[in-house]
C-alpha cells in the first residue's frame, strides 16, 4: 500500500518517534509500504513520520542514478545491502563535516545546502529483529543523518542557514499554506 507523503507544515512531521517493541508482521508490512511509497516518489530515503506514522523506522535506498553511477561512486561499502530498513536507529558516532545539496520528499521543489557528518556509526534493528551496526560514509552517512532527524521531528528547514531560509522563503510559505 502506497502512502501519501506529508509535506512541510503538517504537524505529524514534528512528532517524535516511538520505539518499536517487537518486529512483527505489522512492522514488516509498514516497512514494505514505506519502500513502495519511497520508490513511487523517486526518493532515496523516507521516515515513518513522513507518512503519518510514529514508529521509529526509516528506509533508505541509494540506487545508481539512471544516467550513470553518480550515487554509487560516492561510497564504497559494497557489503551494505540496499534497501536499508532501520528500526529503532541510533547514531552512535558522527565524524567530519560535509555540505550536501539536499532535498526531502516533504519539501517538494526545494534543495538546500545542509551540513552533515562525513561518516556515522549507525546501530539499528533489522527486519529479522536483530541489532546491527554499520559504519557509513559519504552520501549514505548524509541520508542516514537526514532520516534520523525525521524521527526526532527535525527537518531540513531547521538545518538551513539564515541565507538559505531567505532564499527559500516563498516556497516554504507556500508549503505551509497548503497544509493549513
Ligand atoms: Ni526528508
Domain ranges of the chain: 11-178
Ligand 1 centroid to residue 95 C-alpha, Å? 21
| Catalytic residue IDs | 147
The CATH number given to 11-178 is 3.90.45.10
Ligand 1 centroid to residue 23 C-alpha, Å? 23
DSSP track, 118-180: SEEEEEEE-TTS-EEEEEEEHHHHHHHHHHHHHHTT--HHHHS-HHHHHHTHHHHHHHHHHT-
Rounded Cα distance, 134 and 120, in Å: 8
C-alpha cell at 48: 515513518
Ligand 1 centroid to residue 11 C-alpha, Å? 15
| Nearest C-alpha neighbor of 41 from the set 105, 84, 106, 111 | 105
Q: What is the pLDDT of residue 139?
A: 85
* Cα-based distances in Å from 72 to 99, 117, 130: 18, 18, 26
| Nearest C-alpha neighbor of 126 from the set 179, 69, 84 | 84
Q: Can you give the pLDDT of all 180 residues of the chain as single tens digits?
A: 999 999 999 999 999 999 999 999 999 999 999 999 998 998 999 999 999 999 999 999 885 444 444 444 444 455 577 889 999 999 999 999 989 899 999 999 999 999 999 999 999 999 999 999 998 888 889 999 999 999 999 999 999 999 999 999 999 999 999 998
Amino acid at each position: 500500500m502506497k502512502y501519501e507523503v506529508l509535506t512541510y507544515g503538517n504537524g505529524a512531521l514534528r512528532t517524535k518517534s516511538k520505539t518499536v517493541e517487537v518486529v512483527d508482521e505489522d512492522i514488516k508490512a509498514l516497512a514494505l509500504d514505506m519502500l513502495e511509497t519511497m520508490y513511487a516518489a523517486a526518493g532515496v530515503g523516507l521516515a515513518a513520520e513522513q507518512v503519518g506514522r510514529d514508529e521509529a523506522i526509516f528506509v533508505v535506498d541509494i540506487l545508481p542514478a539512471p544516467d550513470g553511477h553518480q550515487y554509487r561512486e560516492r561510497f564504497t561499502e559494497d557489503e551494505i545491502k540496499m534497501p536499508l530498513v532501520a528500526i529503532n536507529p541510533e547514531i552512535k558516532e558522527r565524524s567530519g563535516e560535509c555540505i550536501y545539496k539536499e532535498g526531502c520528499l516533504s519539501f517538494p521543489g526545494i534543495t538546500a545546502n545542509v551540513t552533515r557528518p562525513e561518516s556515522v556509526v549507525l546501530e539499528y534493528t533489522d527486519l529479522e529483529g536483530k541489532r546491527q551496526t554499520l559504519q557509513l560514509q559519504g552520501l549514505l552517512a548524509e541520508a542516514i543523518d537526514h532520516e534520523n532527524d525525521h524521527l526526532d521531528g527535525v527537518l531540513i528547514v531547521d538545518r538551513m542557514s539564515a541565507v538559505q531560509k531567505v532564499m527559500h522563503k516563498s516556497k516554504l510559505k507556500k508549503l505551509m499554506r497548503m497544509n493549513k
